[in-house]
Structure 1
Amino acid sequence: MTHDATSDMPSRRQLRRTLRQRRRGLSAAQRRQAARLLSQRLRRLPEVKRARRVALYLPNDGEIDPRPLIDWFRRRGAHVYLPVLRPLSDNRLWFVHYHASTPMRTNRFSIPEPCTRHGAHHARRLPAWALDLVLMPLVGFDASGNRLGMGGGFYDRTFAFRRLRRPHPCLIGLAHDCQYVERLPAADWDIPLDAIVSDARVVRPTRT
């Protein structure tokens, strides 16, 4: 099922609520299947194959799960990083090296993230510009590559430099295919993505 976000001009907040409910309504079996299909599609992409410093996320609120890729990346010699919220006054993300024994904490949005109070992990913090590939969660997307996030703007602020320093790092948005809409209004502050991948399709944005 698809939805035309411009036919009735819902607010981004209303559309965000609808799409979040849609992905949360998926069964555990559907989520596992979606994660498997997502992993297969991503592993075929050349920008994913060549990445050596990769940021991804731990799924929350029904987000599609990229974790099946972690071992695959490591077998290829890539390092995996997770986003960490910086202080509220900054509203940007850090990226911290992640492995099975990484100490974790819950951030102010109840999302698990690496604990940066440990000195060893503080030393393995990576700035956004040093990444090769970033896999980020989306709330909605359309065929033109327009996207809808959670509304906090953390990724947009963190990668604002991409407007001047393309094409590094490669930014790929991830979503369940049930989060696809026919047309999604773009916001001026949205940082363009290089691709959007769901369990059923790969979208290459057409807008510049």
Structure 2
Amino acid sequence: MNIKDLKAQMRNERLAARDRLPAETRTEFSLRMADHGGGAFEFEPGTIISGFLPIRSEADIRPLMARLKARGARLCLPIVQDKMTIVFRELVTGVELVDTGFGTRGPGPDAAVLDPEILLVPLSAFDAHGDRIGYGAGHYDRAIARLLQKGRDPRLIGIAFDCQEVAEVPAEPHDVRLQAILTESGFRTF
């Protein structure tokens, strides 16, 4: 089996495991993530942090984002443009959210486009080394590469449930490791 097929198999298995978590359990686990992650990492007031709104069976990190905002973070959300490119639009109180494709919602085209310094990254699978498997479209890989090309060095924090951990992710040269992972069990750095 080649790496692409192995990653696809791991992605499908870990997403199926996540899907099997009852909605009430996902809610409880998401609140635990807010407790564990709300003060787990340092940043200066005004730091731009990209979060996300949950789709499918993802963790709901809105309580975590509220805690980060209360600590002075400037929040943004990923918006997929032209089916290939993620831009990060500023999320401010009272802004109307619009449909942004892929079942997601976010700030509309009038919102400021920002370069996040910290990315809270949804994923399909991860391992104890910080390697991750995304959803297969490469959106975050390309967004991270663009930020690096601009001279930015964003901190990558994966967001997942414990059931999404695997023994080893088969890493490829273009893959960028996470610096940390936040699950319902806690915050781990790599």
> Paired residue for 1:111, among 104, 108, 111?
104
* Cα separation, 2, equivalents of 1:78 and 1:42: 13
Q: Cα gap change, 1:49/1:61 in structure 2, threshold over 3 Å: closer, same or farther?
A: farther
- Give CA-to-partner distance per residue, 1:38-79, whole Å, 9 cap, x none: 112212323357672111000112111211023222222222
Please say if 1:134 is aligned against 2:119: yes
Equivalences for 1:41-190 in 2 at 5 Å?
Answer: 41-47=36-42, 52-88=47-83, 91-116=84-109, 119=110, 121=111, 124-126=112-114, 128=115, 131-161=116-146, 168-190=153-175
Larger of the two Rg values belongs to structure: 1
Q: Cα gap change, 1:176/1:37 in structure 2, threshold over 3 Å: closer, same or farther?
A: same
Secondary structure of the equivalent of 1:107? strand
1:141–1:184: 8 Å Cα contact kept in structure 2?
yes
1:47–1:133: 8 Å Cα contact kept in structure 2?
no
1:177–1:201: 8 Å Cα contact kept in structure 2?
no
Q: Where in structure 1 are there 5+ consecutive unaligned residues?
A: 1-8
The Cα shift of 1:113 comes to 2.2
**TM, length-normalised to structure 1:** 0.79
Q: Where in structure 2 are there 5+ consecutive unaligned residues?
A: none
Please say if 1:23 is aligned against 2:18: yes
Deviates more, 1:100-109 or 1:180-189: 100-109
RMSD of aligned Cα (Å): 2.5
Q: Greater share of strand residues, 1 or 2? A: 2
Q: Cα gap change, 1:200/1:50 in structure 2, threshold over 3 Å: closer, same or farther?
A: farther
Letter in 2 for 1:98: L
> Paired residue for 1:32, among 27, 31, 43?
27
* Cα separation, 1, equivalents of 2:187 and 2:121: 14
